Structures are given as structure tokens and as C-alpha cells.
Chain A
Amino acid sequence: MGSSSGDLRYELSQNAYIKLVLHSLNHPTSSVNGVLIGRISPSNDAVLIDDAVPLFHSHLGLLPQLEISLMLIEEYFSAKGLNIVGYFHANERSDDYELGGVAKNIGDHICRYFPQAAILLLDNKKLEALKKSKDRSAVTQVSSVYIGNYNHESL
């Protein structure tokens, strides 16, 4: 599954997608977030997102836990040749489609280290539909995850 934005393509692996969906579904009553792990493809035209690490489901706006998690995650994955390439966020309310201040700041921070980072905001209504649909193919179909390329230059 991929999505294009400007010249760069983003490919979200099934592993990463399932992890971020499951994390959101596990905490239906609070906002959740997490980071995306991956690398730039050898041909330099795509960002391959191989894995996702769910972070929090409470107190998303607090710094200490975020700093430690990012440190440890960076350490762990750089040994495997992967970087933090993005951030995913799901809002608390089902009709909230805005990327809040916290998400923007964290996205900002990640973009500083990886300029082509992708920020994913989950579509809560589609998540809910996912639970009710018995169709297996729905899990891998694009559940319209809004991908906003938070480009550092645009700030």
C-alpha cells in the first residue's frame, strides 16, 4: 500500500499498519500515538515504513517519557539499520480530524532528524468500520489514513 506526495513515495508495510491499527483499537477511549520505523529505499524515491512502535495512550503531551522512548527506539533500530521515519496519531474523539498541537510538535521534532518524515492521522470513523466489517480484505485496503507530509521547509 502506498501513497504519493510530491516526488517521494511512502510505502507502509503490513506489519507496521497492523500494529498501529491494533494499538488504536486497544484503547478506544483515549488518543494514542506511536512512531514509524523504516528507511529510504535504495533507489531514493520512496520511504519504506517497515515497522511501527506504539508509544502512549495517556498523557501524550508530556515530554520525559517521549524523550526516553525515542532514545531507546533510535538505539534499538539503528543497530538494524533502520531510522524513525514517521509518527502516527489517533485522536480521542471520533469526529476529530485535526492534527493537534502535540502531534504537530512531535512531528516537527521527528522531521528535524529525518526531513522526509510522514505524519499519519488515523481516520477514527474508518477504524470503527473496520471492527464491524467481516471482510478480511478490509484490513489491508487503504482505510483512508490521512497522510500529511509535514515538510520542514514549509514552516
Chain B
Amino acid sequence: MVTKTEENQLNRLESQVDNAGGGAWEYLCLVRKLKLRRSDKVLKHGLSILNNPSKRSALGPEEWTLYEQVAVAAMDCQSLDVAKDCIKVLRKKFPDSKRVGRLEALLLEAKGSWELADKAYSSLLEDNPLDQTIHKRRVAMAKAQGNIPGAIEWLNKYLEIFMADHDAWRELAEIYVSLQMYKQAAFCYEELILSQPTVPLYHLAYADVLYTLGGLENLQTAKKYYTSTIDLTGGKNTRALFGVCLCTSAITQVTKGKSKEEKEGSQVQSLAAKVLEKDYKQRAPDKLPQLTTALKSLTLSS
């Protein structure tokens, strides 16, 4: 996850670089460190450094890392010629490198030559069966070809070996959600919460999935996870606050006619509603009337 300071620093550098104020190398390093996907900017600024021989030699050994970064960014922007050139340079410098081999296979993927890329990846995997990036590329290829069940299968196999890869669990959960397989998505989020219980993002996503599944038990659990998100984010997460209100009204709708009394539930809901109203007053006062009506309709249906 990107911290607030890092985000501010990134935005500052980005605007500086975009306005030709220098600092391109720091920007590229930060993007690389945070593993962000800003391919068009990386391509533009990276190429400006690489095409300028004096700037390029000023980088020293970092020059090759930049070539790699620009190659990947070029492939993401479909500038395959740029990518090919970068990879050629790298291949000349490092003739036996597996890392360059990976880039070449990535280029095949970008061109759309799926079988050739698959062969390349399989041979790379033979030499190094525990290379996480190559496994993940296979999943990506399946997804890109539209073979979502295949992607799920590869991803599950990958996760059997590399159970601690949180990004992979998140990807799997998102694929399941897009296919509306909510139970399986819930399982992925459970794994994530177990391994990283203090990350509010997972609590929030898990609560969302449970709410979507529906049913009294799921709604009650969802409400618990929304409240834990609020707890973890110090009450600032608007989505969780809304989630609490939605859950409470949905629960009371489901339990209408049954003799259960949920006095506690309405307390949390009214608290959440108050926080939301205060937040809207501060940040979007002209939308406050809509919020009040929406909240009223939620509490009325309870």
C-alpha cells in the first residue's frame, strides 16, 4: 500500500516532471519502488533520459534498470519497437541473463504470440521453477486471452505454492467478484484478513462481498466488518460508514416479522449517520440534502 507521504511526493514529482521541471530520474525511481502502473509517463520521461547520451551516462550502472523499466512501460503502451530496442540493448550487455529472457517472453506476449510466449515461459520455468513473476505471467496470459477459468486454475495452483502472496489473493478475489462467484471471493478475503488483520482494505472488501451475498448471517457479519474497518481507519472511511447504514436497514428488513429486537444496531447506525452528515457538511455541503434523504429512507425502512 502507498502511504500518504509517498502519494504526495509522487504527485509533486509527477507535476514537476510533466511541466519540464526536471526530477525525471527521482520520479522513475519512486514509480519503480512503489510498483505503480504509470506506463505512459514512464515511457515519455524514461525515453527522454535514454535518448540523451549525457544524461544516460550520468546514470552509471542504473542505466540498465532504466532500460528494463522503459521496456516494460513501452509494452504496456503498445510501443513494441521501443521495447524491442531496449531489450536488444540489454541482451547485448547481458547475453546469458534470465531477466532479459523474461523481458523477451513478455515482448512475445505483448505482440500476441501466445504459444511462443508460453513456450518461452515454460523453458524459463524449467531452469527456475520457483520464479514467481513467470508463474504470474502465465495467469496474466490466460486472462488476456479471455480464458478466465484457465486464469483461475493457474492462479489457484500458484497460490498453493506461494500462499503468502497477498496481491495474488487480491487478484483472485477480484476475478471471482467479476464472475459473481461471491462465496469464493469471500474465501480469498478471509485468507487475506487472516494474514494481515490490520489492513482495513480487506475488511471493507470482505464486508462488501458478504453484503452482496445477502442472508441474515452474512449481513450481520458484514456489519461487524464494516465496524472493524471504521475502527481501523479512525472513522474516516466513508464507504464503511455507508456500509453500516445499509447493513442495519437490510438486517431489520430481513428480521421484520420475527421477534428479534436489534436496539444495539440502531445505535451504530445513528452514529454512522451523524459522522457521515458531519463529513458531508465539511467536504460537500451542496450534496447534504441528498445524503439526509438517503439516510432517512434507510432508517425508515428499518
Interface residue ranges, A against B (CB under 8 Å): 29, 31, 58-65, 67-68, 71-72, 75-76, 92-93, 95-96, 100-102, 105
User: Looking at the complex, which one of A61, A72, A100, A105 makes contact with B291 (CB distance below 8 Å)?
Assistant: A72
Please, which residues of chain B bring their CB within 8 A of the CB of A93? 143-144, 146
Whether the Cβ atoms of B293 and A64 lie closer than 8 Å is: no
Q: Closest 6 interchain pairs by CB?
A: A63-B212, A75-B290, A62-B208, A61-B177, A71-B294, A68-B242
Chain B residues closer than 8 Å to A29, beta-carbon distance: 37
CA distance A67 to B294 in the complex (A): 10
Q: Which residues of B contact A65 (CB under 8 A)?
A: 208, 239, 242
A29 and B174 CA atoms in complex are apart in Å by 14
Nearest B residue to A70 by beta-carbon distance?
B294
User: Do B212 and A95 touch (CB < 8 A)?
Assistant: no
B179 at the interface (CB under 8 A from A): yes
Determine whether the beta carbon of A72 is less than 8 Å from that of B287: yes
Partner of B294, one of A60, A72, A101, A105: A72
> Nearest A residue to B214 by beta-carbon distance?
A63
Q: A31-B178, A96-B146, A101-B179 are in contact. Are A75 and B205 (CB under 8 A)?
A: no
Known contacts A65-B208, A75-B290, A76-B287; decide if A100 and B178 are in contact (CB<8 Å). yes
A59-B205, A61-B212, A71-B297 given as contacts; is B180 within 8 A of A101 (CB)?
A: yes
Asked if B27 is an interface residue, CB under 8 A from chain A, the answer is: no
Q: Which residues of A contact B289 (CB under 8 A)?
A: 75
Total of A-B residue pairs, C-beta within 8 Å: 63
**CA–CA, A68 and B293, complex, Å:** 12
Determine whether the beta carbon of B180 is less than 8 Å from that of A61.
Answer: yes
Q: B121: CB under 8 A from chain A?
A: no
B290, A63: Cβ atoms closer than 8 Å = no
For residues 142 through 183 of chain B, which have their beta carbon under 8 Å from a beta carbon of chain A? Answer: 143-144, 146, 174, 177-180, 182
Is B46 part of the binding interface, using a Cβ–Cβ cutoff of 8 Å?
Answer: no
- Are B290 and A72 neighbours in the complex by a CB distance under 8 Å? yes
Q: Which residue of B lies closest to A65 (CB)?
A: B239
Contact of B67 with A by CB under 8 A: no
Interface pairs (24), CB distance under 8 Å: A29-B37, A31-B178, A61-B179, A61-B182, A62-B208, A63-B212, A64-B211, A64-B239, A64-B243, A67-B246, A68-B246, A68-B294, A71-B294, A72-B287, A72-B290, A72-B294, A75-B289, A76-B287, A92-B178, A96-B146, A100-B178, A102-B178, A102-B180, A105-B180
Q: Which residues of A contact B179 (CB under 8 A)?
A: 61, 101
Measured between beta carbons, the chain A residues less than 8 angstroms from B37 are 29
A-chain residues with CB within 8 Å of residue B207 when the two chains form the complex = 64
- Give me 5 other A-B pairs in contact (C-beta within 8 A), A58-B174, A62-B205, A64-B239 excluded: A60-B177, A61-B180, A63-B208, A72-B294, A75-B293
Chain B residues near A68 (CB-CB < 8 A): 242, 246, 294
Query: Chain B, 256-292, contact with A by CB distance < 8 Å: what is the 0/1 string?
Result: 0000000000000000000000000000000101110
Question: B16: shortest Cβ distance to chain A, in Å?
Answer: 22
Q: How far is the CA of A76 from the CA of B286 in the complex (A)?
A: 10
B209 contacts partner chain A, Cβ-Cβ < 8 Å: yes
> Which residue on A lies nearest to B37, using beta carbons?
A29
**A64 to B: closest C-beta gap in Å:** 5
CB of B302 to closest CB in A, whole Å: 15
Q: Name the CB-closest residue of A to B297.
A: A71
**Cα distance, A60 to B208, chains bound together (Å):** 11
User: A-facing mask of B233-249, CB < 8 A → 1, else 0?
Assistant: 00000010011001000
CB-defined contacts of B243 to chain A, threshold 8 Å: 64
By a CB distance below 8 angstroms, the chain A residues around B174 are 58-59
Chain A residues whose C-beta falls within 8 Å of the C-beta of B291 in the assembled complex = 72
B212 touches A64 (CB 8 A): yes
A102 to chain B, nearest CB (A): 6
